[in-house]
């Protein structure tokens, strides 16, 4: 993108702001929101107990002592599994 010294940057900024303007619904209009199945799962408290503060403390200690090793293969496998589950969930929706 070339910037011409004769252009008026204030007018470009104003155009950008106008395009990003928020459109408000008419007064009294009802707003309805539908969550996807994945969003509903993320909001459910079902996995609230999955956080283990003791394990976090152990990992923090291992990192500070230089004993923590990263298993790239395990991380890659979990990322692939997670991505596959997300794709499958979107196809079902």
* Residue 26 tokens, joined: 């008419």
Question: Rounded CA gap, 16 and 10, in Å?
Answer: 10
Question: Rounded CA gap, 77 and 81, in Å?
Answer: 6
Domain extent listing, the chain: 55-93
Please give the pLDDT value at position 16. 47
Given a cut of 50, is residue 24 above it in pLDDT? yes
Q: In this predicted model, what pLDDT tens digit does every residue of 37-68 receive, in sequence order?
A: 877 777 776 655 678 899 999 999 999 999 99
Question: Rounded CA gap, 38 and 83, in Å?
Answer: 13
Please, are residues 36 and 93 in contact by the beta-carbon 8 Å criterion?
Answer: yes
Please, are residues 35 and 43 in contact by the beta-carbon 8 Å criterion?
Answer: yes
């Amino acid at each position: 993108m070339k910037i011409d010294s004769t252009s008026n940057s204030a007018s470009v900024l104003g155009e950008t702001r106008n395009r990003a303007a928020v459109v408000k619904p008419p007064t009294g209009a009802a707003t309805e929101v539908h969550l996807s199945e994945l969003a509903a799962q993320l909001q459910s408290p079902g996995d609230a107990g999955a956080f283990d503060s003791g394990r976090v403390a152990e990992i923090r200690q291992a990192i500070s002592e230089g004993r923590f090793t990263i298993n790239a293969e395990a991380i890659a496998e979990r990322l692939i599994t997670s991505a596959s589950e997300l794709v499958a969930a979107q196809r079902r929706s």
